Amino acid sequence: MTQERRPIIAANWKMHKTHLEAIQAVQKLSYLLEKEDAERAEVVVCPPFTALRAVQTLIDADKLPYGLGAQNVHPEDHGAFTGEISAPMLAALKVRYVIVGHSERRQLFGEDDLFVNKKARAVFANGMTPIVCVGETLDEREAGGTESKVAQQIRRAFDNVAPEHAAKAVIAYEPIWAIGTGRNAEPADAGQVVALIRATLAERYDAALAQGVRVQYGGSVKPGNIRDFMAHPEIDGALVGGASLDAEEFALIVKYR
């Protein structure tokens, strides 16, 4: 972590928690976290769509210092897309971050790099920040293809993204084999891939922009391993799935020392 990049630790609740459970979890988090914890690292919660309004109301009413994130978005502003949610709808709920390109969306819902790029652009166009997820499968890693896969995902995700937008992006490096498996990447390995992500951004934009972009690690982050990830100079935070469902565990991750 350099001085200029504020750490960002985000809870990705995936398809867990009703709006009532979400309220409880955020309330509990607010008792567990000190003001300084949320100053040192930016804390973001990404509940399911059905809980966004409830969590937003709680954050507003109690003036909680947490960012609200959504887990997905459709690239079009409106139209005949039954079941989808658009970026203007999220922006109206004061959503600040939107996860795009999560490997579960790519693998289970067939989302490709072009679709991820459209989503990222829609998020930027509506004044929000995408958390762009990239990462390799175990087969790709074992075949030595990690770098080419991740670099390509980054190049495609940022296609036609203006520098003033790209500078604000958050990227999550999430090796797919580490997600929900209990098997986290080695911080040094993850740091190397994050450095490659910055090199790819530097090629596409410039070195200063790349140095300013925050890159998280994601994949089996827990209270017991967060410190090692945060200690790596390239890694600026974490995108946390399973361990974020429990407020106590997530609070320990946010405190990370």
Residue numbers of the site for ligand PGA (CB under 6 A)?
A: 12, 174, 179-180, 218-221, 239-243
Q: How many CB atoms lie within 10 A of CB 60?
A: 11
Q: Scan for tokens 């399973």, then name that residue.
A: 242
Shortest spacing between CB 101 and ligand PGA, in angstroms: 11
Shortest spacing between CB 241 and ligand PGA, in angstroms: 2
The three-class DSSP label of residue 99 is strand
Shortest spacing between CB 190 and ligand PGA, in angstroms: 13
Give the helix/strand (H/E) hosting 163: helix 163-166
- 24: Cβ contacts below 8 Å, ≥ 6 apart: none
Residue 171 or 205: the one with the smaller Cβ distance to ligand PGA is: 171
Rounded Cα–Cα distance for residues 38 and 56 (Å) = 17
Rounded Cα–Cα distance for residues 219 and 214 (Å) = 17
Select which of 42, 104, 111, 174 is catalytic.
174
Residue 191 or 218: the one with the smaller Cβ distance to ligand PGA is: 218
Shortest spacing between CB 164 and ligand PGA, in angstroms: 27
Closest residue (Cβ) to ligand PGA? 241
| 19 included as an active-site residue | no
Residue 101 or 241: the one with the smaller Cβ distance to ligand PGA is: 241
Select which of 102, 111, 136, 234 is catalytic.
102
Shortest spacing between CB 28 and ligand PGA, in angstroms: 19
Q: For residue 188, which of 135, 225, 239 has the smallest C-alpha distance?
A: 225
Amino acid 195 reads A
| 102 included as an active-site residue | yes
Q: Is 113 exposed, middle or buried (0-12, 13-18, 19+ CB in 10 A)?
A: middle
Phi and psi torsions of 133, nearest 5°: -95, 135
Sign of torsion over alpha carbons 114, 180, 197, 214: positive
Residue 66 or 217: the one with the smaller Cβ distance to ligand PGA is: 217
Residue 131 or 205: the one with the smaller Cβ distance to ligand PGA is: 131
Residues designated catalytic? 102, 174
